[in-house]
Structure 1
């Protein structure tokens, strides 16, 4: 039922109640083939939804269908859970950067991390930023986008930054400008919430550290 062709379906009953198991299995075997033979990778309903029988007609019936004390992560106006598994606490902002702008963000981060104006403190702050953005991209790409090796190359891998970003990374002002652009892009794409503010703070701290760096010789 949950993974067709990859798991077995067992039908069982208690013989004491006189169920005709052979008749039930016969009806199952007589069911028509699926309308779509290929595996479907979509989602018909969020995993925390409660099944409600078609016989539940009233609001009271539907309310009774949910177990008392049931607790699960829920979406807010500005953020949604990473996962709806019991005990999950990670959240991400509402919104999408989009594949093209993730590519831009990845290029900026790579260029900054390659720059001579990048200190160890900047590395320590931008590394979790790109790791987080890769997580957000992974959730966004379900609606179409990159797969396999192409996905890994956005923020990691051996793909270098684009030429414009590499050129800007040659100057302190260029690095600061790129990080400012990265911050602005994230603010435009995502709702203002704690998960986003954590990343913005890391970018702001990186800019501050670069500004405080002592000049170095050529």
Structure 2
């Protein structure tokens, strides 16, 4: 039977047909996957994968996943405060769409942190209710983009420029972001300028695309950056090496109108108590019911030695904590540091904790596994120091919670050992100092 007569109806069937086409026609596997998907009635393999994964054997669509996005605010003028929480529906949990570390790769998500499998919360305290709502809506739009396209934000900007040079970027670009397809290893440039700003550059942008062999598409979906005040989303990619734009535009056009502040449908409530999502509660209950295994011996066998420059012999826990956990602990510690500069009992201890964790990270990962640029961002380069000489009870409680989460992560990923216990005592001391700060 000719391969062209085969009409597969499953992903496995499409992959088998692709291997047959690859052999018959002497083409590469990725083009063969797209051709096999087209024979099955789809636009390309990505389209087939999205449709077939979303439709179980019963033919009934899978239920969506509720995701909660939260931001806290406090007015500098009258002292009023509150919480803004928006609930959105996605096809998967946020952790299946993006890792905690990759949240830093997009402007709308960079300051959000994981509060649970179904909850992301903005780390800094914002100044107004409007700021909080805008931040949450922007995060929702970014997550909707990821859910529709299954792409992840990237910092590898050079991969999306002609010749890898930013000087070759599309004319009139603004509020842009880079996106990556993990399966095809291809990149997409998303440009979101204000539409009026590029009205006079249409011919220049088209000439640029023709000169460099790029394609430009403007979907009907307005975009992520600021669709309520005139920004518009353009998809830009290399016609041969980049992500095909047609399926991406089609997926975006199926999305509802971008969520904006003016159509707010979230929950507005008092700041305290902090919001805890259903998924977080369920996860805590499951962990409590899980039988605890006996701890291994906590002696020196659970630690290893190293020599620290200018200090001498030191010890750290045996094994290594995942990079994503390091990033999460780093963000928690930095959120405390930016608010406690004038409380040295807190600041100095937390600063010492991050310095020690920075040393441990250097011994746990080499540069091939953890590039220098990513390493330096884990525990340093915080911004937005408030230099406050006092904190409210609510603010202190939030930072105590952050230190508690950092302590839990360290205890979860490192074996019980003298170096870890010493570090955790510093965390406890910082919490005690923070609680007594009036």
Q: TM-score, normalised by structure 1?
A: 0.53
Aligned counterparts of 2:406 and 2:357: Cα–Cα separation in 1: 11
Measured at CA, do residues 190 and 124 of structure 1 come closer, stay the same or move farther in structure 2, by a change above 3 Å?
same
* Alignment-derived partner of residue 179 in structure 1: 403
CA deviation profile, 1:112-168 (whole Å, cap 9, x unmatched): 01125971111110111001101111111129532122211111125679xxxxxxx
Q: Give the one of 397, 400, 414 matched to 1:190.
A: 414
In the TM superposition, 1:93-104 aligns within 5 A as 93-104=317-328
Aligned counterpart in structure 2 of residue 120 of structure 1, from 324, 331, 344: 344
CA separation in 1, counterparts of 2:413 and 2:367?
A: 16
Q: Is the 8 A contact 1:112 1:118 kept in 2?
A: no
Distance 1:126 1:158, change over 3 A: closer
> Cα 1:190–1:199, aligned 2, differ >3 Å: closer, same or farther?
same
Equivalent residue for 2:372?
148
Q: C-alpha separation between the residues in 1 aligned to 2:342 and 2:409? A: 21
Hey, what does 1:134 align to over in structure 2? 358
Displacement, 1:77? 2.2
Once the two structures are TM-superposed, the CA of residue 82 in structure 1 deviates from its matched residue by: 1.4
1:208 and 2:432 matched: yes
Determine which structure has the larger strand proportion and give its number.
2
The 8 Å contact of residues 303 and 318 in structure 2, kept in 1 or not, is answered as yes
Structure 2: unaligned runs, 5 residues or longer: 1-298, 386-393
Which whole-Å CA distance do the structure 2 matches of 1:176 and 1:118 have between them? 16
CA distance in 1, matches of 2:301, 2:367: 21
Counterparts of 2:377 and 2:368, CA distance in 1: 17
Please give the alpha-carbon distance, in whole angstroms, between the structure 1 residues aligned to 2:411 and 2:368. Answer: 23
Q: 1 or 2 for the larger relative contact order (CA 8 Å, sep ≥6)?
A: 1
Q: Which residue, 303, 308, 331 being the options, matches 1:107?
A: 331
Relative to structure 1, the CA distance from residue 171 to residue 188 in structure 2 (aligned partners, 3 Å threshold; closer, same or farther) is same
The residue matched to 1:172 in structure 2 has which SS?
Answer: helix
Matches within 5 A, 1:57-96: 76-83=300-307, 89-96=313-320
CA distance in 1, matches of 2:322, 2:316: 15
Spell out structure 1 runs of 4+ moving beyond 3 A: 158-161
- Alpha-carbon contact 2:332-2:402 (below 8 Å) kept: yes
* Superposition CA RMSD, Å: 2.9
Give the count of matched residue pairs: 130
Is the CA contact (8 Å cut-off) linking 1:126 and 1:203 kept in structure 2? Answer: yes
User: Shift in Å at residue 97 of structure 1?
Assistant: 1.5
Per the alignment, in what secondary structure is the counterpart of residue 175 of structure 1? helix
How far residue 174 of structure 1 moved from its aligned partner, in angstroms, is 1.1
Matches of 1:198 and 1:118, distance apart in 2:
24
- Distance in 2, matches of 1:116 and 1:92, equals 27
CA distance in 2, matches of 1:77, 1:200: 19
For the residue of structure 1 that corresponds to 2:366, the secondary structure is: helix
Contact kept, 8 Å, 2:340 with 2:347, in 1: the verdict is: no
What is the TM-score when the length of structure 2 is the normalising length? 0.27
